[in-house]
Structure 1
Amino acid sequence: MSSTLAWINGTWGDPSELKLPLSDRGLQLADGVFETVLIRGGEPQLLQAHHARWRDGATTLGMAPPPSLEVLGPLLREAIQLGGLNDHSATARSRNTIERHGALRLNWSRDGAAARGIQVPAGEPDPALHRFWFTLSAHQPSFAAVRTWISRHERRNATSRLSHCKTFAYGQAIQARREAIEHGADEGLLLSTTGELCCGSTANLLVQRQGQWLTPPLSSGCLPGVMRAQLLKHELAQEASIHAQPEPGDCWLLINSLDCRVVSAVDRHALTTTTQAEELWGALLKG
């Protein structure tokens, strides 16, 4: 697949050609939630977990539930077929080719049916006043090392509802990564308003310390990542407060549903690196 495929209102096309109304609250106010799902072997990975977080995020923000798995199923199968991502890994190996992966983004916005401003319609949220669309792009998971920089300007709000939902509002993450690049790093790390380390700009933080994988608690304001939940479910990691200063022998990872990057440095201080990133990430996709 050489370009991104998009769907909205029953129409397939290029995302640069399909349109959203200018009144859409997702566009105007970042008032919406989304999910990014890995396509691997022709199948969406951990789709039920992603859908549950998508639905819970919408509920938290007072939105109607997004489309059900029953509605999504036929659409996603068609998208995978149209995107040429339906070759299973065994077939790809028999052709001696690299297995193709995709990044699926599911979007659910609160539409602009209300009057101008931030007020939402009164009463029970109406699905008819929401908008659903999705995109599917080629993606190759990365396990390469990244240098990180702890943002001096941006902090995750430990008590905000928005910190616990995957919303359209990514301005803070954009600024944290921009700041990191300005300091010669690749990726930004964010502190919490509690003072502890929280997450990367688009990934959960995972620290191996004295043989145990640790990840910041949700009370830090980190996003409840799907891969993070898999780690805890399978007792491969435990929650613990992580402070900005690495300890000798630490190995750090930044993990999400699309990649698992090894942290080679924090604020120009070199870290011990691990070769377990790809193996660990792959094991979590098995459910």
Structure 2
Amino acid sequence: MAAADQVPFDDRGLAFGDGVFETVLMRDGAPLLWPRHRARLRHGCRTLGISPPDDAALEACWQPPASGLEVLKIMVTRGSGGRGYALPERQRPRLLYRRTAFAPARSRWRGVDVCLCALRLARQPALAGIKHLNRLENVLARREWQSADIAEGLLADTDGNLVEATAMNVFWRADDAYWTPPLDASGVAGTLRAALLEQGRVQEAPLSAETLLESSAVEQLFVGNSVQGLWPVNALVTPRGRRLRRFAEAAGAPLQADAHALLGYPTLSRED
């Protein structure tokens, strides 16, 4: 496993997006939800046919430990070599990482507006769920809005099914339960999402963008990830800010409390 502070020109991660990454919340030197991040990174490496880094190499990414909150970003590329898209005969994967101080967007725990993006995610089961380095769909979707009043953008696939947000997973409340879309054809299977599924706090179910817009059965909506926590959605808007529909107040909802407990974030009350 080769390491580098700078990516060489011929690195396949740079050239082709041939690799995977993880973004990990660190609290006082400890990586939160680490078994899930490690498992997803290894699964992504296996999917792409890259030898994953061993535990010692990964643990070195957060040494020496520090106090407070940080975000650790880990990238594993296939390394250099090969002619065109052909794989190198001898692969030497490259591990890169960086730690930065972090503070969550606490004001967004009380509620945000999100837009419905025009871009549609391609359905590709071979890559579904993993956090590979080719995020061009997310980049194009993020270009659709500029207003600071819009916190995130929701993405549906080419069949019109809700999948995720540009950098977060999606959850909703309907029929006295919490739900999240299945990610068997596209999208990133987030580690916070995985933990909530394992706890039985959410279940998988399909939801079309059309139903999200029109059905009053979808009472509350959330976007969240393992770094920022869970943001309740106040309103769904267009990228230009025109309101499409509102959702019931959800700050301090049980799902948010469960998600924040996993990350060491405070639970909000209705009065916060």
Tell me the TM-score range normalised by the shorter chain: 0.7 to 0.9
Q: Which amino acid aligns with 2:59?
A: G
Q: RMSD of the TM alignment (CA)?
A: 2.3
1:280 aligned partner: 258
From the superposition, tell whether residues 184 and 72 of structure 1 become closer, same or farther in structure 2 (CA, over 3 Å): closer
* Match in the other structure for 2:236: 266
Q: Could you say what secondary structure the match of 2:150 adopts?
A: coil
Indicate if the aligned counterparts of 1:104 and 1:135 stay in contact, CA closer than 8 A: yes
Structure 1 moving runs of 4+ over 6 Å: none
Give the CA deviation at 1:184: 6.8
Matched residues in 2 for 1:28 and 1:220: separation? 24
Q: Choose from 130, 136, 153 the match for 2:93.
A: 130
CA shift at 1:157, angstroms? Answer: 2.6
Using the alignment, how far apart are the partners of 2:37 and 2:14 within structure 1?
22
Amino acid at match of 1:255: G
Kept in 1: contact 2:130–2:188 (CA 8 A): yes
Confirm whether residue 9 of structure 1 aligns to residue 29 of structure 2. Answer: no
- Looking at structure 1, the residues matched to 79 and 85 of structure 2 have their Cα atoms a distance apart, in angstroms, of 12
> 2:41 — aligned with what?
54
Give the drift of 1:279.
2.1
**Deviation digits for residues 170-223 of structure 1 (CA, Å, limit 9, x no counterpart):** 221121122133797332111023321110001110101232110001235231
Q: Which moved more, 1:275-284 or 1:199-208?
A: 275-284
Equivalent pairs counted in the alignment come to: 247
TM-score (norm 1): 0.78
Deviation, structure 1 residue 262: 1.9
Q: 2:223 aligns with which of 254, 268, 281?
A: 254
Gaps of 5+ in 1: 1-7, 11-17, 81-85, 88-99
After superposition, the Cα gap between the structure-2 partners of 1:54 and 1:274, relative to the gap in structure 1 and judged at 3 Å, is: same
Q: Percent identity?
A: 30
Contact 2:196-2:259 at 8 Å conserved across structures: no
Q: CA deviation at 1:107?
A: 0.5
Aligned to 1:238: 203
Say whether the 8 Å CA contact 1:252–1:273 is kept in structure 2: no
Please tell me the residue identity of whatever aligns with 1:19.
Q
Match of 1:139, as an amino acid? Answer: F
Moved more, 227-236 or 154-163: 154-163
CA contact (8 A) 1:35 1:107 kept: yes
**TM superposition shift of 1:233:** 0.4
**Partner of residue 76, structure 1:** 62
Moved more, 169-178 or 244-253: 244-253
Pairing partner for 1:110 from 66, 75, 78: 78
State the distance in 2 between where 1:77 and 1:195 align. 44
Q: Which residue of 1 aligns with 2:21?
A: 34
Mapped to 2, the partners of 1:20 and 1:238 lie a distance apart of: 40
Unaligned runs of 5+ in 2: 238-242, 265-272
Secondary structure of the residue aligned to 1:162 is coil
